């Protein structure tokens, strides 16, 4: 009987009292899988190499996984991120160590696209302001004519990024009869054409859109991509929506254009610093709707991410290639291939 396949869950999946933070993440398939053991790590950040020494797989929520997290014994085969952003993971270090990094686009695609639509509808309908007016009773009703919304028909939605989430946004927004444009240097023109999306230059997204939505990853290339110069190109009636990563937007520059009412407003699920400082001036603005990097958090999102990670981990245990691997180079290496053969021999019997 060979030793079990051991799976670690990063410590932030569990509360101090030991209860799961997100019960929608169904651990039953791991619990009942033959020859699998799992355990929660202590909630250290970044994950320590000594913590993963005796594990074959790691399911990683919000903790960082850096080169210091890698144990020299080479046992860890897979890091499965709970979500699709992997700016918390040192990908190169994983690749060098032969560790496959997996993400869960199937889990987040619909929930994040829905949260962008939520921002579009709440901003264009002035939902938060109208909620406030209603609570003021007669005084609020008297002012309702000052809060005219923005109709969406024929208005332009521009996305920076037309990948997993950007494309789903365009699919969901179809019935609203908007014009659809996107900038994405790596886009497949056929996918864009199939969605009725015109691919345009980056500056054109800012110039032409009534809603600019950010759906690209945070990379050295995209850090600060939404800067003062580009914000200055936006129409005064336009809104910026960011559900991707805070540092893609120069937040100081955004705060300034919002304060000066040079754009109509913003919907921000992500900020440069999370959580923000309580006295961050952006939090004082009434033309912004915020989410605490959690607008997409639904039962279905968490169940979907969990199921995808568990599937990936069990795939590796059975010597099968996991589906959505970020550092695909690892899969080509002889070391990885022989590792899979070894797992197959031990567990796929
Ligand atoms: N708010 C949340 O809770 C939440 C949840 C999930 C994902 N996200 C963020 O959303 C991002 C997008 O997720 P996804 O699943 O669509 O990823 P994806 O990789 O499928 O799509 C990203 C797209 O951005 C494009 N891109 C890369 N560089 C670009 C650039 N310089 N300019 C324009 N486009 C560029 C890529 O070509 C790709 O098509 C993630 O990286 C993550 O940071 C946030």
For residue range 107-152, what is the model confidence (pLDDT) as tens digits? Answer: 999 999 999 999 999 999 999 999 999 999 999 999 999 999 999 9
**pLDDT band at residue 348 under the 50/70/90 scheme:** confident
In the predicted model, what is the mean pLDDT of residues 277-290? 98
| Residue having the nearest C-alpha atom to atom 32 of ligand 1 | 184
Share of the chain above pLDDT 70, in %: 100
DSSP assignment letter at 276: P
Share of the chain above pLDDT 90, in %: 99
Would the CB of 162 count as within 6 Å of ligand 1? yes
In the predicted model, what is the mean pLDDT of residues 175-192? 98
Would the CB of 240 count as within 6 Å of ligand 1? no
DSSP assignment letter at 21: S
Would the CB of 246 count as within 6 Å of ligand 1? no
Would the CB of 167 count as within 6 Å of ligand 1? no
**How far is Cα 111 from Cα 331, in angstroms, rounded to an integer?**
29
- In the block, tokens 């991707």 appear at 244
Contacts of 250 (CB under 8 A, 6+ apart): 224, 226, 227, 228, 231
Would the CB of 118 count as within 6 Å of ligand 1? no
**pLDDT band at residue 201 under the 50/70/90 scheme:** very high
Q: Is the pLDDT of residue 349 over 80?
A: no
pLDDT of residue 2: 75
Ligand 1 centroid to residue 103 C-alpha, Å: 12
pLDDT of residue 279: 98
56-65: pLDDT as tens digits? 999 999 999 9
| DSSP letter for each residue of 166-216 | HHHHHHHHGGG--EEEEE-TT--HHHHHHTT-EE--HHHHHHH-SEEEE-S
292-339: pLDDT as tens digits? 999 999 999 999 999 999 999 999 999 999 999 999 999 999 999 999
**pLDDT band at residue 1 under the 50/70/90 scheme:** low
Ligand 1 centroid to residue 237 C-alpha, Å: 25
Q: Is the pLDDT of residue 250 over 70?
A: yes
Chain mean pLDDT for the chain: 97
Q: Is the pLDDT of residue 82 over 90?
A: yes
42-53: pLDDT as tens digits? 999 999 999 999
Ligand 1 centroid to residue 204 C-alpha, Å: 19
Count of CB atoms situated within 10 Å of the CB of 244? 27
Would the CB of 222 count as within 6 Å of ligand 1? yes
Would the CB of 269 count as within 6 Å of ligand 1? yes
Ligand 1 centroid to residue 148 C-alpha, Å: 32
Ligand 1, from 104, 216, 293: best to mutate by most atoms within 8 Å of Cβ? 216
Ligand 1, from 184, 269, 301, 302: best to mutate by most atoms within 8 Å of Cβ? 184
Q: Is the pLDDT of residue 6 over 90?
A: yes
Q: In terms of Cα–Cα distance, which of 239, 284, 242, 233 is closest to 263? A: 239
Reduce the DSSP state of residue 58 to 3 states and report it.
strand
């Amino acid at each position: 009987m060979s030793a079990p396949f051991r799976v670690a869950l990063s410590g932030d999946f569990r509360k101090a009292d030991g209860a799961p933070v997100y019960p929608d993440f169904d651990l039953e398939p791991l619990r009942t899988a033959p020859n699998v053991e799992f355990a929660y790590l202590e909630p250290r950040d970044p994950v320590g190499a000594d913590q993963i020494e005796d594990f074959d797989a790691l399911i990683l929520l919000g903790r960082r996984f850096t080169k210091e997290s890698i144990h020299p014994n080479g046992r860890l085969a897979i890091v499965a991120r709970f979500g699709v952003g992997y700016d918390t993971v040192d990908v190169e270090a994983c690749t060098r160590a032969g560790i496959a990094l997996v993400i869960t686009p199937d889990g987040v695609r619909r929930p994040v696209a829905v949260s962008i639509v939520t921002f579009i509808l709440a901003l264009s309908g002035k939902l938060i302001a109208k909620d406030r007016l209603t609570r003021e009773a007669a005084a609020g009703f008297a002012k309702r004519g000052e809060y005219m919304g923005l109709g969406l028909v024929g208005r332009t939605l521009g996305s920076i990024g037309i990948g997993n989430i950007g494309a789903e946004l365009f699919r969901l927004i179809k019935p609203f009869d908007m014009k659809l444009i996107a900038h994405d240097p790596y886009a497949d023109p056929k996918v864009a054409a199939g969605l009725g999306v015109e691919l345009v230059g980056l500056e054109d997204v800012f110039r032409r859109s009534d809603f600019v939505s950010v759906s690209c990853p945070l990379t050295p290339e995209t850090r600060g991509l939404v800067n003062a110069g580009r914000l200055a190109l936006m129409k005064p009636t336009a809104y910026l929506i960011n559900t991707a990563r805070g540092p893609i937007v120069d937040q100081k520059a955004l705060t300034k254009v919002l304060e000066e009412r040079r754009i109509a407003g913003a919907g921000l699920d992500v900020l440069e610093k999370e959580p923000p400082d309580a006295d961050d001036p952006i939090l004082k603005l009434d033309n912004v709707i915020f989410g605490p990097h959690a607008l997409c958090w639904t039962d279905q999102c968490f169940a979907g991410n969990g199921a995808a990670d568990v599937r990936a981990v069990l795939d590796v245990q059975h010597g099968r290639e996991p589906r959505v691997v970020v550092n695909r180079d690892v899969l080509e290496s002889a070391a990885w291939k022989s590792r899979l053969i070894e797992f197959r021999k031990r567990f796929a019997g």
